[in-house]
Amino acid sequence: MITLYDAARCPYCARVRIVLAEKGVELEVVEIDLSDRPAWLYEKNATGRVPVLEEDGRPLPESAVIMEFLEERYPEPALLPPDPADRAFVRLLVFRDEELTDPYYAFRRGEDGAAGRLDIALGVLDAALAERPFFGGPEYGLADIAYVPWILRARDMLGVDLAPYPLLSAWLTRLEGRPAIASEIDIVAAL
């Protein structure tokens, strides 16, 4: 059995929830109160952060690493493309996620100039979708899952209007048709 140490509001946890849902993995979920974290969480992840995925008593932190682990443990349905160069491209996008997350958190903190920085980041993602239907290429996969938690939260929690980014809006509409993403939208709505 797999256990996910989770927090509903955490977008990094959302990545893992979405991958698990896409792959239909049965799991036990332990909700962590981030404002009052249990001391034992530090034994599973020295940073005390979630998500942590645990299988057979082996805790694994870091959402990007967990996504890769799940892709290898449960290869179907595939969320990485078959070609190594295409896979590397997806990994590069995930590796550079702070190009979205940094402006997102700056905007959430109300920093000066953050709205402009977030606008630029969303514009870059919108432009990328002019070249391919999904962030990682022709198929939905880990690159989309890596970014969608922040885009959903920007829209549904921070009130960011996505209309100025029509390709990004259309991409999100396509993703919303997937049960794994629809569940995440419900989680965000309940926060």
Number of residues that bind ligand GSH (CB under 6 A): 12
- Nearest approach in angstroms of CB 62 to ligand GSH is 5
Pair 18, 148: CB distance under 8 Å: yes
Q: x/- site string to ligand GSH, residues 22 to 61, per CB under 6 A?
A: ------------x-------------xxxx----------
Q: CB under 6 A: which stretch of 3-11, 111-119, 140-148, 160-168 binds ligand GSH? A: 3-11
Of 146, 96, 141, nearest in space to 121 by CA: 96
Preceding omega of 84 cis (within 30 degrees of 0): no
| Distance from chain centroid for Cα 120 | 20
Give the 3-state secondary structure of residue 54: strand
The amino acid at residue 182 is: A
- Nearest approach in angstroms of CB 189 to ligand GSH is 18
Six-digit token pair at 53? Answer: 């995925």
Question: Dihedral (C-alpha) 138, 139, 140, 144: value to the nearest 10 degrees?
Answer: -40
Six-digit token pair at 41? Answer: 């969480």
Q: Which is nearer to ligand GSH, 2 or 129 (CB)?
A: 2
Pair 74, 25: CB distance under 8 Å: yes
Give the 3-state secondary structure of residue 180: helix
How far apart (Å, rounded) are the C-alpha atoms in residues 17 and 24?
Answer: 10
- Nearest approach in angstroms of CB 138 to ligand GSH is 26
Q: x/- site string to ligand GSH, residues 141 to 160, per CB under 6 A?
A: --------------------
Which of 2, 27, 62, 183: binder of ligand GSH (CB under 6 A)? 62
Which of 6, 54, 63, 142: binder of ligand GSH (CB under 6 A)? 63
Q: CB under 6 A: which stretch of 62-70, 131-139, 171-179, 183-191 binds ligand GSH? A: 62-70
Which of 4, 5, 6, 10: binder of ligand GSH (CB under 6 A)? 10
Contact residues toward ligand GSH (CB under 6 A) are 7, 10-12, 34, 48-51, 62-64
